[in-house]
Amino acid sequence: MLFPTISQLLIQAVIPSALSESQRTTIISESVCGYTRSPLEYPQLRLFLKMVFVSSHLAAELAEEDLADFRNVEAACVQEWCLSRAAQYRCRILALHAMRNTSVHNISDAEDDLPGTSGTELADFPGAAGTKIQEHKGRIRALRSVYNSAALINRTLPVELLMEIFSHIHPVDFSRRRGMFMLRICRFWTDVLYRTPQFWSNVLAKHHVLTSLSDRKLERFRVALKYSGTRPLSLSFRALPIPLAELLCLHADRITALHVDINIGVEGLDMLLEAKVPVLERLSITPWTSPWVIYWRSGRHSSEYARLPNITALPALRSIRVASGHFTDSIASSTLCHVDLIGCWCPACKASRPDDQFGHLLRALAQCTSLEALRLKRCIPSSPMARERRLPGSAILPRLRHLDVHDFGSGVSTLLAHLIFPTSTSLELKVGDGFILPEPFDIRTLHAVASADHVSFDFRQYSWSHSRPPCYIMDAYVQGRRLLKMSSADYSRSNTADKFAFYSLYIEDIANIFGSTSRVTSLDVRGIKHRRPGEDTPYPTENVLNRWTALLRSFPCLTQLAIGSESDDFALILEALSQPQSEGATACLCPSLRALSGVWNFVSSWPWVDKNGLEKTHGENMSQAGDEEARDWRWRSNRILAMREIAGSHVETEDPVTWLPYGIAETRAFAAKIAPFLSRRAASGAGALKELRIGVREVRVYHSEDVRDQEYLQRHLPAEPLESRLATLLDGLVEHVAVTKIGPFADRILSFA
């Protein structure tokens, strides 16, 4: 028995509509018997194969005489024929324009072989000429469409592949010029796009701002919904006008995700939620989250919130983001996996707040037994009963994997005291007044704190706006997994004249949190730097040393310590590590420390020129005349020339400004600065460091474009690697030294975790 090949099956599928019964039978029998007769020997089949690449409705737009000629054109010559015929029509249009302008009513047929333009057919001038011109332009457009359809890419790529490609395009909006430019490339692609439902579903999935909805935009929504077929719809709007809501109600059974920012009213949103939305999985209704918005825009924006349906009307709902005051028993369900609650200041929410809103919230959360992610942002209601632990019961969330709370410390403490979740839950807490939470919750009881083996502190000034306070971060890890991320704004109780007092307050909190545990063996610290940008006066070293000592004393079992680049001097931190554990004790801090990393914060540019040096060394001898910038530059130029002269002698003097970056003299000075503290640790019984990681800046030439400076650096920097030189100078104190290069302005930490 002969089994047909794929090509034979294709022939059987496509030939019946192209040839007669006898011709079809002949071709199929020859293909099955293995004959090699070319299908192009059949004129009807040749026409059919050509029409595969030119859609039927495009070919049908051709004029009758053009279509007759088109049938005799080979498939490979279609584009050439289209260009030739379009050029003839353009010539005819020019001739018709000339006839209309010169009142000539007859053009010899010898000028053009196109029919239908003889003088007898143009008796009614100029109207007849104008009609003919428009007719020829229409024929040119049809030829252009056929030309595009016959392009090589359209004859090579299957339509199914084009549809798959188009299904991954996500237009930015409905604009044909910006978002929907694909519709303007060619008629063939436009035809394929209209047959790609996923493309139109992607169009609808974009966030649409609908504070005003024109008839044209509403019609575009209608077209997109029509051509999206039966695809699931993910919708996102800012405001939902009633006309669009009425249109969406017809497709409510396809909506799987709905996000609406309440803006001018909620009538349209209420209308859509009242319709049956059986497959809705994600619902997000964002209210105004600031009282100032309501105050300043009360005349133009909605003061109401949507009416949430009962959970029975949303059987597929798995994720919800709503105002906390509207998250009640009626919308809570054991099928919810993600709950995101936010605060709302609209008058409707304020009026609907019950006396015991926290109790209502707690009872609603207790129903969400399948909850995996819970997020609350500035929405935890105050409850004296809850703070005094007189509120009965707790919400048990056995499947909770992530908890994100952004509120004041009192609200966060109240919530945590009434939630029961697994020890593996990852917590992200953002509070406003320090790492220590007020009663009733003790943060030290968290598994992420009690079992932490790696802790990271970040005290860098994360303040993107002058009106916002800095934010400091504490991360706690258990077996390589971060279980706690806690962020806090600058301490409000730091009212002393000491601008760095907040360091002491945070370190005090850290000591209270981790002082009773001995599990933390790895610590990363970023940003404790007692010199802020623009300040030339350093902070008293004694106070800095005391603060680092207090911080390190909280972690007695450290084996790994990493200090970030934006921190105090590395030698000062080593001095803190050599301090005794307590007054009168002989053992030093962190006696089990075996790995230490830090950044060598030396100016890595050469020649090194600093304005501070100008004021200190040459200030008295400088002339007071002239512009300050010119004087400054003259001093810098003289300084560079002097340093070049010193460099030419290949001798590094005692003046540090003449040292090459990480050269012999500077490396010796750095080792001499840190070696005494390492020796002091060894004398107190601490073991030698197994690994010392040092980060260094990339060496660069600064304040000079003279190639001699760069050549000098390349020629006179020591050939021996910096690692080897440091290892030799620290022999007996460190087993292994590793040097890592970092960018000139990079903020890096060489962590061991």
269 pLDDT more than 70: yes
DSSP class of 436 = S
Gap between the Cα atoms of 261 and 422, Å rounded: 34
| pLDDT one-digit tens code per residue, 196-231 | 999 999 999 988 888 888 888 899 899 999 999 999
Helix segments in 443-500, DSSP class H:
447-450
User: E strands, 129-218, where?
Assistant: 207-209
The torsion angles phi and psi of 439, rounded to 5 degrees, stand at: -65, 150
Residue 583 vs residue 280, higher pLDDT: 280
Residue 730 vs residue 541, higher pLDDT: 730
Query: Which residues are 473's β-sheet partners?
Result: 458, 487
Helix segments in 103-230, DSSP class H:
127-149, 152-156, 159-166, 187-194, 197-205, 215-227
* Average pLDDT of the residues in 378-395: 65
Closest CA to 740 of 695, 691, 690: 695
Structure tokens at 446: 């968290």
Structure tokens at 53: 């690449």
Contact 407, 380 (CB under 8 A): yes
DSSP class of 192 = H
Give the range with max mean pLDDT: 454-458, 566-570, 599-603. 454-458
Gap between the Cα atoms of 449 and 423, Å rounded: 11
Contact 99, 105 (CB under 8 A): yes
4 pLDDT more than 60: no
pLDDT for res 317: 94
| pLDDT one-digit tens code per residue, 570-586 | 788 888 888 888 777 77
Gap between the Cα atoms of 217 and 210, Å rounded: 9
CA distances from residue 331 to 339, 472, 679 in whole angstroms, order as listed: 11, 36, 66
* Average pLDDT of the residues in 719-740: 89
Q: Give the chain's mean pLDDT.
A: 75
Sign of CA dihedral 60, 62, 66, 70: negative
pLDDT for res 488: 84
Which of these ranges, 11-20, 149-158, 286-295, 315-324, has the smallest mean pLDDT? 11-20
User: 628-648 and 707-716 are packed helices; what angle lies between their axes, rounded to 10 degrees?
Assistant: 40
Structure tokens at 91: 């010539």
Contact 234, 256 (CB under 8 A): yes
CA distances from residue 733 to 576, 600, 677, 721 in whole angstroms, order as listed: 17, 18, 10, 19
Gap between the Cα atoms of 737 and 670, Å rounded: 14
The torsion angles phi and psi of 475, rounded to 5 degrees, stand at: -115, 140
pLDDT for res 636: 53
Gap between the Cα atoms of 152 and 156, Å rounded: 6
pLDDT for res 701: 60
Contact 726, 672 (CB under 8 A): no
Gap between the Cα atoms of 197 and 231, Å rounded: 7
480 pLDDT more than 50: yes
DSSP class of 588 = B
Whether residue 440 has a cis bond before it, omega within 30° of 0: yes
> Cβ of 199: how many Cβ atoms within 10 Å?
26
List the domain boundaries for the chain. 521-611+659-753
339 pLDDT more than 90: yes
Gap between the Cα atoms of 614 and 634, Å rounded: 11
Q: Percent of the chain having pLDDT more than 70?
A: 65
